[in-house]
């Protein structure tokens, strides 16, 4: 017997194993095309999503990005680029990994084509050497003892190695002792002393802003991958809305989050190539740990665990964060569960209005602060001043970066440019009445203006629910 969408949603409350099976069926079931999916709509101007099978940016994209960076810094007389920031390491090499306390560096000689020298911890050597790597010098682990390489049969309790000095010695061996090195960040006073001692004729200059500028302005390929992630957002939010309508009276906010996360993972991984090997299915994430109902919605950054039943009259906040190949972001929606108050309706409407203000005002040539001013001015003129806690948007990074400059904030006069993307979250919060309204979406800046990347409505029909 074929299970209906309602049957599948009901079964999601029958335990984790059953929930996973039901989510898998629901992700592939024709029945999933009904319900809230009918309310989704494509917004004009959205970029075409990357096709199934294009699950990450190819290696050639990363090599091309590094070549563009070389062109930018060559005018500064830079002989070699030295990257140390994880966001830059992933963005310019495509090797998905995080350093943590174990420092990692990648060196790109400007006058060599597609050469990259790595200096890394041994724990990541297989990841690095199986990707884009000309040579890799590695230390064993952090903190590293001189001569201590158990993997080579050398077990020693030696002097603790200064890994920055170890890096500089490596640069010296590669012929960069008297060269100009562009590094993605300031060199601390302590490290400057090490440079003077080890490479006294070398010159280090900060190219961090050049790296950030490239990450801020998204390419066509990046936007296509992001848009594909937002097509999953659409389906996940349609599922979440149906789940609330079907099981909202008996479910906790925790269960709603777990259900939509299980559904989202099954949905996305049906399309993503995954063989368990490195460099496939990288930068993949579906999380929903901030789904919350009632008073917890009234705090922008709550610190309590969410495990409350959805009650009549609640404000309900449904979040999802998705990454595909490191690209995607956040997409949140708010619900008013009947019976709602006049105050709740007004707060919701002001937020919906300011979302539209952001879409209309975020365009090339405008200052970020100007957009923020118009949002906050509208909020205040509509009596919402006590409920305003934060800026209406931030730049959106990739590869787990999250927030990124510039910011749609009163203190940021950065001029908006085509290719930038911003979050859309002009939230309002009222702890006294135990409600908050803070949606989120991704706003792409095109030549003609702002375009929301999801197809999930901000309408009353979508948001006001009678269970």
**Do the beta carbons of residue 243 and residue 262 sit within 8 Å?**
no
Distance between CA atoms of residues 364 and 416, nearest Å: 5
Distance between CA atoms of residues 377 and 430, nearest Å: 18
- 305 and 449 share a domain? yes
Torsions phi, psi of 107, nearest 5? -120, 130
Long-range contacts of 66-69 (CB under 8 A, 24+ apart): 66/92, 66/93, 66/108, 66/114, 66/116, 67/114, 68/214, 69/108, 69/207, 69/210, 69/211, 69/214
- 342 and 199 share a domain? no
Give me the residues of the chain with pLDDT under 70, please: 1-34
- For position 35, what pLDDT does the model report? 87
Residue-number span of the structural domain to which 432 is assigned: 5-51+217-465
Distance between CA atoms of residues 316 and 439, nearest Å: 11
Element (H, E) at 141: none
- 229 and 191 share a domain? no
- 315 and 356 share a domain? yes
- 104 and 201 share a domain? yes
C-alpha triplet 359, 65, 46: angle, nearest 5°: 25
Helices (H), 162-201: 163-173, 189-198
Residue 60: inside a domain, yes or no? no
- 82 and 169 share a domain? yes
DSSP 215: H
75 is written with which tokens?
């005018």
Domain boundary residue, one of 206, 232, 257: 206
- 23 and 96 share a domain? no
- For position 17, what pLDDT does the model report? 47
Residue 386: inside a domain, yes or no? yes
**Do the beta carbons of residue 175 and residue 144 sit within 8 Å?**
no
- 199 and 255 share a domain? no
Residue 59: inside a domain, yes or no? no
CB-count exposure of residue 422 (10 Å: 0-12, 13-18, 19+): buried
- For position 9, what pLDDT does the model report? 67
What stretches of 233-350 adopt beta strand conformation (E)?
Answer: 285-287, 292-293, 315-324, 327-337
- For position 12, what pLDDT does the model report? 59
Element (H, E) at 70: helix 59-74
Domain boundary residue, one of 140, 175, 206: 206
334 is written with which tokens?
């708010």
- 345 and 241 share a domain? yes
- 161 and 247 share a domain? no
Residue 396: inside a domain, yes or no? yes
321 is written with which tokens?
């964060």
Residue 211: inside a domain, yes or no? no
Domain boundary residue, one of 186, 206, 226: 206
C-alpha triplet 90, 126, 115: angle, nearest 5°: 55
- 201 and 222 share a domain? no
Residue 64: inside a domain, yes or no? no
Distance between CA atoms of residues 463 and 287, nearest Å: 21
Q: What total number of domains does the chain contain?
A: 2
Residue 365: inside a domain, yes or no? yes
Q: Is 254 helix (H, G, I), strand (E, B) or coil?
A: helix
Distance between CA atoms of residues 214 and 202, nearest Å: 26
Q: Is 8 helix (H, G, I), strand (E, B) or coil?
A: helix
Residue 334: inside a domain, yes or no? yes
Distance between CA atoms of residues 248 and 309, nearest Å: 8
**Do the beta carbons of residue 324 and residue 272 sit within 8 Å?**
yes
Element (H, E) at 138: strand 135-139
DSSP 342-411: HHHHHHHHHHHHHHHHHHHH--TT-BHHHHHHHHHHHHHHTT-GGG--S-SEEEE-STT--EEEEEESTT
Kindly give, in sequence order, each residue whose CB lies less than 8 Å from that of residue 158, ignoring residues fewer than 6 positions away: 145, 146, 147, 148
What pTM does this model have? 0.92
Torsions phi, psi of 118, nearest 5? -100, 145
368 is written with which tokens?
């970020």
Q: What CATH number did the domain enclosing 284 receive?
A: 3.90.230.10
Q: What CATH number did the domain enclosing 140 receive?
A: 3.40.350.10
- 175 and 323 share a domain? no
Element (H, E) at 225: helix 220-247
């Amino acid at each position: 017997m074929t299970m209906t969408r309602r049957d599948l949603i009901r079964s999601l409350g029958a335990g984790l194993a059953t929930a996973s099976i039901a989510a898998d069926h629901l992700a592939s079931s024709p029945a999933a095309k009904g319900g809230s999916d009918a309310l989704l709509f494509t917004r004009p101007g959205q970029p075409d999503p990357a096709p199934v099978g294009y699950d990450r940016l190819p290696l050639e994209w990363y090599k091309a990005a590094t070549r563009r960076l070389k062109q930018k810094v060559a005018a500064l007389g830079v002989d070699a680029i030295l990257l140390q920031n994880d966001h830059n390491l992933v963005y310019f090499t495509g090797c998905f990994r995080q350093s943590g306390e174990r420092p990692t560096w990648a060196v790109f000689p400007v006058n060599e084509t597609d050469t990259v020298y790595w200096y890394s911890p041994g724990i990541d050597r297989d990841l690095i050497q199986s990707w884009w790597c000309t040579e890799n010098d590695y230390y064993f682990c952090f903190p590293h003892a001189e001569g201590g390489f158990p993997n080579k049969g050398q077990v020693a309790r030696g002097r603790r190695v200064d890994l920055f000095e170890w890096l500089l010695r490596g640069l010296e061996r590669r012929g960069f002792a008297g060269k100009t090195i562009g590094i993605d960040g300031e060199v601390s006073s302590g490290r400057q002393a090490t440079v003077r001692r080890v490479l006294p004729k070398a010159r280090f200059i900060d190219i961090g802003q050049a790296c950030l500028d490239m990450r801020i302005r998204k390419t066509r390929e990046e936007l296509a991958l992001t848009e594909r992630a937002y097509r999953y957002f659409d389906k996940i939010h349609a599922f979440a809305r149906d789940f609330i309508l079907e099981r909202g009276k008996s479910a906790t906010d925790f269960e709603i989050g777990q259900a939509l996360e299980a559904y989202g993972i099954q949905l996305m991984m049906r399309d993503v190539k995954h063989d368990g090997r490195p460099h496939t299915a990288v930068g993949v994430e579906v999380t929903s740990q901030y789904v919350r109902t009632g008073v917890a919605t009234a705090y922008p950054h709550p610190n309590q665990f969410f495990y409350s039943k959805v009650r009549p009259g609640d404000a309900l906040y449904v979040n999802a964060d998705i990454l595909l190949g490191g690209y995607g972001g956040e997409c949140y929606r708010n619900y008013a569960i009947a019976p709602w108050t006049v105050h709740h309706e007004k707060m919701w409407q002001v937020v919906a209005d300011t979302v539209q203000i952001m879409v209309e005002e975020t365009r090339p040539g405008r200052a970020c602060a100007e957009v923020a001013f118009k949002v906050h001015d509208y909020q205040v003129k509509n009596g919402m001043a006590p409920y305003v806690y934060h800026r209406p948007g931030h730049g959106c990074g990739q590869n787990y970066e999250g927030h990124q400059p510039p910011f749609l904030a009163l203190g940021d006069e950065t001029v908006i440019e085509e290719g930038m993307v911003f979050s859309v979250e002009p939230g309002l919060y009222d702890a006294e009445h135990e409600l908050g309204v803070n949606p989120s979406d991704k706003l792409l800046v095109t030549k003609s203006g702002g375009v929301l990347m999801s197809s999930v409505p901000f309408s009353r029909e979508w948001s006001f629910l009678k269970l």
